[in-house]
């Protein structure tokens, strides 16, 4: 279906034509007519499916055709991260180039002047406010904004917002909105907590499911089975040819991000890093340098796995296996955008083999395993069933029945001791799993930490073999 069939305002169509928007994606084709009818909607759609345009375009068209008679905020778009809020604002700027529509991005991490600009823009009236929950709550608590004129309330990546602990903030914001409004919710997944939120804030919603459950066809997925100690040498080997590939390397911890960044920088490569210890102006600078090509390699935690919207990323490297399948999909979904092809590489250590096998089972195929460079030595066997669930990848030895009979009561005592140790190990494992680098874990405490700015210098080349 073509955009010209929707009956959009001529000035809006001029903007779409300038951006070469002709054919709608599946989520746009299903969601836009529902939103144009004024119905509440909950849509399950992942990043890269065109969901941003799916909610911006119909709302923008309605605002253009029916301008508000009162000064105030007309539409609120909620986003989980500053990066995503910025990108939504940029896309809105493009769509509204020939349209008389105003917008303001409201997020934290900037200086006092930015706060005053946000406050003034909302008080004077803005067609769109694109905001992170925490920052908007701060303005609400100081009575900086009147939401009585809001007609449209949009939540993008609602599941991510709930994962970051923003449920209460969203409910608090909703209480400030008029009851007569149109509510639009987009989520990559549909867990029970999202359904609960939808029940609380949506009225008789229409459900649209366009979730891309598996990686895009254009992503060539490969893996290296390796020891943890081989990873740094492996990534150095991948990038040693200094080509001009645009690469994102994901790691689950800040410490690994910093370690890899420093190693590549010492090798003379043009590399930057993104993690929660950076101030917002530092993040903005790194992203700008990466988009412009000043940096070829970006090392990051999952802080950007869902928010980054750059079409020409050629390679994504998982320095470690993501905690779950959804994270894997989001990570490698940063490449092969806009009908391009890309490569998704994963380093699989012994302890991560069971997690990686779950990913393979989910996508329904074995991911091709590449041999390690000869200079790195032998690789471990890929045997996820043998590896088991122990963090070190070792199997617990099993005593034989004859020995158990000889030991008698002593064996029972040892078994109890083993059980206690297993419980302790399970507790430790759970704590370790919960200690990954999440953006919200450091929302407050990171503000007073000393910061170190990342600079950099080279590039990378991961070639896709012919015939794969």
Mean pLDDT (the chain, rounded): 80
Residue 398 is predicted with a pLDDT of 39
Alpha helix (H) residue ranges in 46-155:
51-65, 82-95, 112-124, 133-141
CATH of the domain spanning 3-209, picked from 2.40.50.140, 3.40.50.300, 3.40.50.2300, 3.40.190.170: 3.40.50.300
The alpha carbons of the chain give a radius of gyration, in whole angstroms, of 25
Span 172-226, pLDDT tens digits: 999 999 999 999 999 987 888 898 999 999 999 999 987 555 666 778 899 999 9
Q: How far apart are CA 202 and CA 199, in angstroms?
A: 6
Q: How far apart are CA 436 and CA 328, in angstroms?
A: 15
Domain spans of the chain? Answer: 3-209, 219-390
Q: How confident is the model at residue 419 (pLDDT cuts 50, 70, 90)?
A: very low
- Residue 412 reports pLDDT greater than 90: no
Span 212-265, pLDDT tens digits: 556 667 788 999 999 999 999 999 998 876 567 889 999 988 889 999 999 999
Q: How confident is the model at residue 421 (pLDDT cuts 50, 70, 90)?
A: very low
Residue 379 is predicted with a pLDDT of 94
- Residues in contact with 309: Cβ distance below 8 Å, sequence separation at least 6, in sequence order: 47, 87, 91
**Choice between 341 and 168, residue whose per-residue pLDDT is larger:** 168
Residue 334 is predicted with a pLDDT of 74
The CATH homologous superfamily of the domain defined by 219-390 = P-loop containing nucleotide triphosphate hydrolases (3.40.50.300)
Residue 436 is predicted with a pLDDT of 41
2-11, 14-23, 131-140: which range is least confident on average?
A: 14-23
Residue 252 is predicted with a pLDDT of 82
- Residue 459 reports pLDDT greater than 70: no
The neighbouring-strand residues paired with 186 are: 43
- Residues in contact with 114: Cβ distance below 8 Å, sequence separation at least 6, in sequence order: none
- Residue 365 reports pLDDT greater than 50: yes
393: buried, middle or exposed (CB in 10 Å: 19+, 13-18, 0-12)? buried
Span 299-310, pLDDT tens digits: 988 766 555 667
The reply to whether 3-209 and 219-390 are identical in fold is yes
3-state SS record for 187-253 = ECCCCHHHHHHHHHHCCCCEEEECCCCCCCCCEEEEEEECCHHHHHHHHHHHCCCCCCECEEEECCC
- Residue 414 reports pLDDT greater than 60: no
Residue 207 is predicted with a pLDDT of 93
Residues 46, 52, 53, 55, CA torsion sign: positive
- Residue 373 reports pLDDT greater than 80: yes
Q: How far apart are CA 254 and CA 264, in angstroms?
A: 16
Q: How far apart are CA 403 and CA 253, in angstroms?
A: 44
106 and 54 Cβ atoms separated by less than 8 Å = no
């Amino acid at each position: 279906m073509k955009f010209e069939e929707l009956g959009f305002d001529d000035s809006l169509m001029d903007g779409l034509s300038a951006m070469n928007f002709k054919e709608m994606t599946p989520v746009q084709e299903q969601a836009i007519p529902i939103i144009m009818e004024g119905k509440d909607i909950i849509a399950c759609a992942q990043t890269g499916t065109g969901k941003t345009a799916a909610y911006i375009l119909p709302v923008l068209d309605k605002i253009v055709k029916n301008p508000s008679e009162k000064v105030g905020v007309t539409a609120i778009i909620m986003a989980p991260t500053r990066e995503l809020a910025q990108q939504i604002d940029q896309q809105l700027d493009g769509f509204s180039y020939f349209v008389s529509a105003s917008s303001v991005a409201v997020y934290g991490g900037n200086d006092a002047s930015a706060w005053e600009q946000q406050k003034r823009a909302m008080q004077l009236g803005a067609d769109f406010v694109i905001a992170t929950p925490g920052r908007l709550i701060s303005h609400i608590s100081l009575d900086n904004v009147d939401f009585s004129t809001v007609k449209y309330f949009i939540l993008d990546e609602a599941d991510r917002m709930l994962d970051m602990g923003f449920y209460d903030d969203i409910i608090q914001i909703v209480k400030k909105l008029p009851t007569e409004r149109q509510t639009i919710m987009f989520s990559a997944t549909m867990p029970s907590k999202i359904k609960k939120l939808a029940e609380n804030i949506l009225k008789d919603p229409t459900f649209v499911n366009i979730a891309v459950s598996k990686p895009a066809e254009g992503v060539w997925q490969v893996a290296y089975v390796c020891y943890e100690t081989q990873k740094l040498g492996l990534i150095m080997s991948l990038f040693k040819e200094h080509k001009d590939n645009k690469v994102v390397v994901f790691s689950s911890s800040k410490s690994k991000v910093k370690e890899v960044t420093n190693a590549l920088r010492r090798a003379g490569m043009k590399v930057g890093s993104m993690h929660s210890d950076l101030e917002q102006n530092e993040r903005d600078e790194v992203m700008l340098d990466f988009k412009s090509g000043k940096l070829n390699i970006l090392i990051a935690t999952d802080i950007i796995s869902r928010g980054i919207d750059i079409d020409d990323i050629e390679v994504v490297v998982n320095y470690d296996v993501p905690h779950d399948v959804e994270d894997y999909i989001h990570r490698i979904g940063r490449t092969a955008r806009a009908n391009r092809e890309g490569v998704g590489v994963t380093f699989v250590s012994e302890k991560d083999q069971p997690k990686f096998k779950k990913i393979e089972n989910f996508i329904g195929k074995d991911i091709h395993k590449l041999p390690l460079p000869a200079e790195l030595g032998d690789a471990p066997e890929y045997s996820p069933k043998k590896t088991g669930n122990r963090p070190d990848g070792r199997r617990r030895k099993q005593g034989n029945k004859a020995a158990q009979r000889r030991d008698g009561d002593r064996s029972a005592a040892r078994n109890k001791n083993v059980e206690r140790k297993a419980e302790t190990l399970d507790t430790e494992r759970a704590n370790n799993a919960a200690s990954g680098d999440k953006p919200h874990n450091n929302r407050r405490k990171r503000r007073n930490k000393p910061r170190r700015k990342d600079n950099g210098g080279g590039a990378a080349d991961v070639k896709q073999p012919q015939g794969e």
